[in-house]
């Protein structure tokens, strides 16, 4: 769903008509309990929405959608720092191609990066095309321009949505979270993902007792865009992770409201559960008005 929609309001007066633009923000989010299980039997009374830290007094629409189609990007880190996990990355992508995507409605692309991003397969609904592209991905460099890659992929592969099409925009990033020289920052990457309405799901492949420094960045990236962060310790984890991802991706609550301050630029937003403090809301933490 787009970050914001501009609708045309009219005031008819004798002899002329005044036109003005009114911003409408539309947000999608999912909710889980403390065990990570999705919750669907909720109403607007269960939430409070904060727009730039101010409570939204009037919500124009609240609804739930199930079995939403998905536009999915699969992005693999192929720099030297993850050379020991490249085989597991392939297995993770293979599992998602086979078990996560529904090819009658979904479409996906496959890309990798180290210094530069490379698109191995553009958007397709053909799983065999993705498998073929996956089989030829190679390790390509010792540097990791992660933030630059995210910035570029979000802009080039997820165009501004002006059609009103209801689908989920998902980017799955498999990486150790290290960046060794990007021009753009983590906040730049988060901002462009929020602007394009992209949820980023991140995976870090390592033993469960380790805490690599990049995990903090990967979790920040997922939390800020409404996605989720996963640690993959073995191939056995793929099944439970895939189920969790699909549940969060397919079923969404939607709200729309008019911002209190319809000024161009970035606005923070927060959806808080009321009553049950154990509920977790997965939603992006901001939106941008006036910039596609």
- Which range marks the domain in which residue 189 is found? 70-250
Same domain, 173 and 54: no
User: pLDDT tens, 226-257?
Assistant: 899 999 998 889 888 888 888 888 878 888 88
In angstroms, the CA 150 to CA 218 distance is 12
What confidence tier does 3 reach under pLDDT thresholds 50, 70, 90? very low
Query: What is the mean pLDDT of the segment spanning 41-50?
Result: 88
What confidence tier does 215 reach under pLDDT thresholds 50, 70, 90? very high
pLDDT of residue 119: 96
Q: Is the pLDDT of residue 173 over 50?
A: yes
Q: Is the pLDDT of residue 163 over 70?
A: no
Same domain, 139 and 225: yes
Same domain, 236 and 280: no
Same domain, 225 and 279: no
pLDDT of residue 262: 78
At 23, which helix (H) or strand (E)?
A: strand 16-32
Same domain, 169 and 197: yes
What confidence tier does 160 reach under pLDDT thresholds 50, 70, 90? confident
In angstroms, the CA 258 to CA 241 distance is 36
Same domain, 243 and 179: yes
We report the CATH number of the domain holding residue 31 as 2.60.40
Same domain, 78 and 36: no
What confidence tier does 162 reach under pLDDT thresholds 50, 70, 90? very low
pLDDT of residue 113: 93
pLDDT of residue 41: 84
Same domain, 267 and 157: no
Share of the chain above pLDDT 90, in %: 40
Least confident of 13-27, 89-103, 153-167, 214-228: 13-27
Alpha-carbon distances, residue 188 vs 87, 115, 185, 207, 216 (angstroms): 30, 18, 5, 30, 17
pLDDT of residue 9: 43
Same domain, 81 and 220: yes
Sheet holding 229-232, edge to edge: 117-124, 107-113, 70-77, 168-174, 199-205, 229-232
Average confidence score pLDDT of the chain: 84
DSSP 46-98: GEEEEETTEE----SEEEEE-S--EEEEEEEE-BGGGGGGHHHHHHHHHHIII
- Structural domains in the chain (count): 2
pTM here?
0.78
Q: Is the pLDDT of residue 75 over 70?
A: yes
Same domain, 22 and 79: no
What confidence tier does 135 reach under pLDDT thresholds 50, 70, 90? very high
Least confident of 68-72, 118-122, 157-161, 223-227: 157-161
User: pLDDT tens, 98-132?
Assistant: 998 999 999 999 999 998 899 999 999 999 999 99
H helix and E strand count, the chain: 6, 15
pLDDT of residue 2: 44
We report the CATH number of the domain holding residue 131 as 3.40.50.410
Same domain, 39 and 74: no
Same domain, 122 and 157: yes
Query: What is the mean pLDDT of the segment spanning 64-69?
Result: 82
Query: What is the mean pLDDT of the segment spanning 71-94?
Result: 89
Per-residue burial over 268-280, b if 16 or more Cβ lie within 10 Å, else e, is: ebebebeeeeebe
């Amino acid at each position: 769903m787009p970050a914001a929609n501009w609708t045309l309001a009219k005031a008819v007066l004798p002899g002329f008509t005044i036109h003005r633009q009114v911003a409408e923000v539309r947000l999608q989010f999912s909710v889980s309990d403390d065990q990570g299980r999705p919750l669907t039997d909720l109403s607007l009374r269960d939430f409070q929405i904060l727009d730039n830290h101010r409570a939204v007094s009037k919500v124009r629409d609240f609804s739930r959608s199930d079995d939403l189609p998905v536009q999915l990007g699969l992005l693999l880190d192929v720099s030297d720092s993850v050379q020991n996990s490249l085989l597991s990355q392939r297995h993770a992508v293979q599992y998602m191609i086979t078990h996560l995507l529904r090819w009658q409605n979904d479409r996906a692309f496959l890309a990798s990066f180290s210094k530069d991003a490379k698109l191995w397969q553009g958007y397709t609904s053909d799983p065999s095309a993705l498998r073929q592209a996956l089989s030829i991905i190679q390790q390509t460099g010792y540097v990791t321009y992660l933030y630059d890659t995210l910035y570029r992929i979000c802009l080039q592969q997820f165009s501004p949505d002006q059609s009103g099409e209801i689908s989920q925009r998902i980017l799955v990033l498999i990486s150790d979270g290290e960046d060794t020289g990007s021009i753009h920052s983590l906040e730049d990457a988060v901002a462009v993902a929020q602007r394009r309405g992209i949820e980023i799901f991140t995976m870090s492949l390592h033993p469960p007792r380790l805490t690599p420094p990049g995990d903090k960045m990967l979790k920040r990236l997922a939390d800020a865009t409404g996605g989720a962060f996963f640690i993959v310790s073995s191939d056995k984890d793929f099944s439970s992770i895939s189920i969790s991802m699909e549940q969060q991706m397919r079923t969404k609550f939607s709200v729309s409201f008019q911002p209190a301050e319809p000024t161009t630029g970035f606005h923070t937003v927060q959806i808080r559960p009321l009553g049950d403090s154990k509920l977790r809301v997965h939603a992006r933490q901001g939106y941008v008005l006036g910039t596609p």
